[in-house]
């Protein structure tokens, strides 16, 4: 009897261990996706620059009245591992959804009456679809510098005439700009 009791106990322990494994709690899991692109370029684009968010100030509607501009917010495109050879500079061309002023980006969100402008590192406007002025690069890690600012919209009346300032409606906004680099 002792032998069958011992065998039964061993079977019970074995069954319990199997059951514990089959009902173990999920203590975490996930999937990591790696993606990117191989480009024909003398420099790699840093991931932080490829997909970045530029946080703008909270801008007073007063600053945008009558076509006014906000203070510029600097941003950069970081280039890594550059082997430039005869190339010495690069330009960036920005594209996106144009506003009523086709040189500027339209805002999405509850804010209205303004558009986003992208400027070069000196503050000169870069029109959407046009290349920026060339910026000098160096071998190794380097970057291109830009600025962004909001500008109050001016509305041209139907049939011509003098433009008037759009009503500035406070609210949140975002907009998106794609960029393409060219080396020279």
pLDDT at 12 over 60: no
Is 47 a domain residue?
no
Is 77 a domain residue?
yes
* Terminal Cα distance for the chain, rounded: 92
Is 35 a domain residue?
no
Mean pLDDT along residues 128-139: 96
Mean pLDDT of the chain: 88
Is 133 a domain residue?
yes
pLDDT at 3 over 50: no
Closest to 150 measured CA to CA, from 167, 130, 120, 173: 173
What total number of domains does the chain contain?
Answer: 1
Mean pLDDT along residues 1-27: 57
Is 17 a domain residue?
no
How far, in Å, are 10, 136, 153 from residue 18 at the CA level?
A: 12, 67, 70
Helix intervals (H) in 23-111: 47-50, 61-64
pLDDT reported for residue 172: 96
Question: pLDDT digit string (tens) for 92-122?
Answer: 999 999 999 999 999 999 999 999 999 999 9
Task: Tell me how far apart the alpha carbons of residues 29 and 78 are, in angstroms, rounded to a whole number.
Answer: 33
Q: What is the CATH number of the domain that holds 149?
A: 2.60.40.1090
Is 27 a domain residue?
no
Is 36 a domain residue?
no
Strands in the chain per DSSP E: 44-45, 73-82, 89-95, 105-106, 108-109, 114-120, 135-136, 140-152, 154-155, 164-165, 173-174, 178-183
pLDDT at 33 over 50: yes
Which residues are paired to 181 by β-bridges?
92
The residue ranking higher by pLDDT, 97 or 13, is 97
Residue 133's domain comprises: 60-183
Residue pair 38/119 in contact (Cβ under 8 Å)? The answer is no
Is 69 a domain residue?
yes
């Amino acid at each position: 009897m002792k032998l069958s009791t011992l065998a039964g106990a061993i079977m019970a322990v074995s069954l319990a261990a199997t059951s514990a494994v089959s009902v173990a709690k999920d203590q975490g899991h996930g999937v990591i996706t790696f993606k990117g692109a191989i480009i024909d370029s003398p420099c790699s684009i840093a991931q932080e620059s490829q997909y970045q968010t530029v946080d703008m100030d909270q801008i007073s509607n007063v600053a945008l009245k009558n076509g006014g501009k906000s203070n510029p917010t600097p941003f950069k495109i970081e280039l890594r591992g550059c082997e430039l050879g005869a190339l010495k500079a690069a330009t960036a061309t920005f594209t996106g959804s144009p506003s009523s002023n086709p040189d500027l980006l339209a805002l999405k969100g509850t804010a209205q009456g303004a558009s986003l402008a992208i400027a070069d590192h000196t503050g000169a406007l870069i029109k959407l679809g046009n290349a920026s002025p060339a910026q000098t690069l160096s071998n190794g890690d380097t970057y291109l510098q830009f600025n962004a600012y909001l500008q109050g919209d001016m509305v041209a009346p139907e049939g011509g005439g003098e433009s008037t300032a759009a009503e500035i409606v406070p609210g949140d906004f975002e907009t998106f700009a794609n960029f393409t680099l060219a080396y020279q």
